[in-house]
A and B are shown apart, each in its own frame.
Chain A
Amino acid sequence: MTGGITKIITANEAAAIAASLCRVQVIAAYPITPQTPVTEELASMVEGGELDAEYLTVESEHSAMAAVIGASQVGARAFTATSANGLLYMHEMLHWAAGSRVPIVMACVNRGVGAPWTILNDQQDSISQRDTGWIQLYCRNSQEVLDTIIQAYKIAEQCLLPVMVCYDGFILSHASTPVEAPSQQLVDRYLPPRSDASTIFDDEPCNLNPLILSEPRRDVKGELKPGYMDLRYQLHTDLVNSERVIVSCDEEFFELFGRTWGGLLWLYSMENAEHAIVSMGSLASECTVAADALRSQGYRVGVVGVRTYRPFPARDLGAVLSRVSGVTVMEKDVSYGYEGALAVDLKGALFNEGLHPKFNSHVAGLGGRDITPDEIVEVVKHDVGSGPVVSWINARL
């Protein structure tokens, strides 16, 4: 239907193929496990002449992000990828990218953060970048990674916001599964070249992101320019409103490619559900296996997968969860000193909607610690029977 080819590939290869299908013009990246194969694959495509892009080898992730910001400011479609401490090293430039309103797409291959070093998976790295003004999308499998990167450029370029496409290290990044790579012609139809022109012109020298003051002020031409807080409000409002664009880009994708990923949320077995498991990424996908087992034992349990974490789909979550009496959040991150970030955000959303289901919040799978569907089944049974519970699953202390 899409004129594509199905290949047995990893999520990292899927990400590289997606970037290539999007005809990215500038790639800047620094290697870090488990992201490295993405950029190796892209480097090989550029070297072999398959992809007409400028590939910048930089000395750090901070420089990688700075380079793609510059490229994007002059109108190029730019891509990078990173993980864990590399992402943290970009932190300053992540704020800079969002504040510069550049439509960069970055693959974040989720890995636990040091110290101590781990190369294995959790989502602490991208969750720690929650408040940088980026759109964050979490994928459950390699096909979704490929499709989401293609969608991400359309979203980014419509909203003038950077998009982070997050997927779990090793669990997805290094696991080979069948993935359909659509034809170039179809991707070209979905994603035309960037229509917004460069923000810099030869005949009009300017200073981007100069020091500005708190109040609006007239520039040398007498034009009234916003103050700092006005630009922050604009960024925030556009991020909130990007919900609509994320949904419409997924719908348009479905029309052309025949696949939909739910836009903001995806639901599994939520019909008549009394209890919902809420999660993100491959862990949410695993929760569907647990939900099937629970259903077969008479528990009316479904799964709500949060695909879009920022903007946070608070109203949609409220609508979906208004019909359940209990919630179990399973997540691979923690806001030290409190609970998991998803649980905290979700509680806020439910409070705003006037909902108060029995709320259970669990941290699981940090630094690659295994969490099996059978274990999730037991956790949910306990939550249903004797919650509310806040706990860490499989911590050995």
Chain B
Amino acid sequence: MSDSFANMRIAKSMPGKGEAGKTGDWRSHTPVIDHTKCAGNDSCLICWLYCPDGVISRDFPLEIDLEYCKGCGICAEECPRDAIVMTGSTDAKVRL
């Protein structure tokens, strides 16, 4: 089967970051991490574990990839230290 656009007969996708498009613009609320509450060595990584989009880093200080974060708020809900809050904004520039 030819690979040219006009001859594509089935839908097929390859695994890769951003395969479904950048989804950050779906967001209505944005998580912001208070790094004074989330200290590296004894941190739990519960937010990393729970994030359904896998956009939270495993390295400290934790970073959230806002190009793909849909703003679901699960990380903020699950964080046992209340170190993550959701801002009522589509970006993280608004600080509390």
Q: Is the CB of B19 within 8 A of A209?
A: no
Whether B11 is near chain A, meaning CB under 8 Å from some CB there, is yes
With both beta carbons as reference points, the residue of chain B lying nearest to A235 in the complex is identified as B9
Q: Of A199, A209, A219, which is in contact with the most chain B CB atoms at under 10 Å from its CB?
A: A219
Whether A387 is near chain B, meaning CB under 8 Å from some CB there, is no
One digit per residue, 1 when the CB lies within 8 angstroms of any chain A CB and 0 when it does not, for chain B 14-32 equals 1111111100000000000
For chain A, give the interface size range. Answer: 20 to 34
**CB neighbours of A196 from chain B (8 A):** 1
Q: Is the CB of B14 within 8 A of A206?
A: yes
Q: Is the CB of B11 within 8 A of A231?
A: yes
User: A220 to chain B: closest CB distance in Å?
Assistant: 3
Whether A216 is near chain B, meaning CB under 8 Å from some CB there, is yes
Among A19-27, A41-49, A221-229, A305-313, the one that faces the other chain is A221-229
Whether A1 is near chain B, meaning CB under 8 Å from some CB there, is no
Q: Is the CB of B10 within 8 A of A219?
A: no
Query: With A219-B19, A221-B14 in contact, do A234 and B5 touch (Cβ < 8 Å)?
Result: no
Q: Which of B1, B15, B21 contacts A217 (CB 8 A)?
A: B21
With both beta carbons as reference points, the residue of chain B lying nearest to A223 in the complex is identified as B3
Interface SS of chain A: loop
Whether B12 is near chain A, meaning CB under 8 Å from some CB there, is yes
**CB neighbours of A199 from chain B (8 A):** 10, 12
Whether A208 is near chain B, meaning CB under 8 Å from some CB there, is yes
With both beta carbons as reference points, the residue of chain A lying nearest to B10 in the complex is identified as A101
**CB neighbours of B16 from chain A (8 A):** 219-221
Number of residues from B at the complex interface, CB < 8 A: 17
Query: With A219-B19, A220-B14 in contact, do A225 and B8 touch (Cβ < 8 Å)?
Result: yes
Q: Is the CB of B10 within 8 A of A216?
A: no
With both beta carbons as reference points, the residue of chain A lying nearest to B17 in the complex is identified as A220
A347 to B8 CA separation, bound complex (whole angstroms): 34
A230 to B10 CA separation, bound complex (whole angstroms): 10
User: A69 to chain B: closest CB distance in Å?
Assistant: 12
User: B68 to chain A: closest CB distance in Å?
Assistant: 13
Q: Is the CB of B14 within 8 A of A231?
A: no
**CB neighbours of A100 from chain B (8 A):** 10
Q: Is the CB of A225 within 8 A of B21?
A: no
Q: Which of B1, B9, B13 contacts A219 (CB 8 A)?
A: B13
**CB neighbours of A226 from chain B (8 A):** 5, 8, 11
Q: Is the CB of B14 within 8 A of A205?
A: yes
Query: With A220-B16, A220-B18 in contact, do A210 and B1 touch (Cβ < 8 Å)?
Result: no
**CB neighbours of A101 from chain B (8 A):** 9-10
User: B55 to chain A: closest CB distance in Å?
Assistant: 16
Query: With A220-B18, A220-B19 in contact, do A210 and B8 touch (Cβ < 8 Å)?
Result: no
Q: Is the CB of B9 within 8 A of A238?
A: yes
With both beta carbons as reference points, the residue of chain B lying nearest to A228 in the complex is identified as B11
With both beta carbons as reference points, the residue of chain A lying nearest to B16 in the complex is identified as A220
**CB neighbours of A234 from chain B (8 A):** 8-9
User: B8 to chain A: closest CB distance in Å?
Assistant: 5
Q: Is the CB of A209 within 8 A of B11?
A: yes
Whether A50 is near chain B, meaning CB under 8 Å from some CB there, is no
A226 to B7 CA separation, bound complex (whole angstroms): 10
Query: With A219-B19, A220-B18 in contact, do A207 and B9 touch (Cβ < 8 Å)?
Result: no
Please list the residues of chain B having a beta carbon within 8 angstroms of any beta carbon in chain A: 1, 3, 5, 8-21
Closest 9 CB pairs of A and B: A220-B16, A210-B13, A101-B9, A207-B13, A212-B11, A220-B19, A226-B8, A101-B10, A209-B11
**CB-defined A-B contacts under 8 Å, sample of 13:** A160-B1, A204-B14, A206-B12, A206-B15, A208-B10, A211-B20, A213-B21, A219-B14, A219-B16, A223-B3, A225-B13, A231-B9, A238-B9
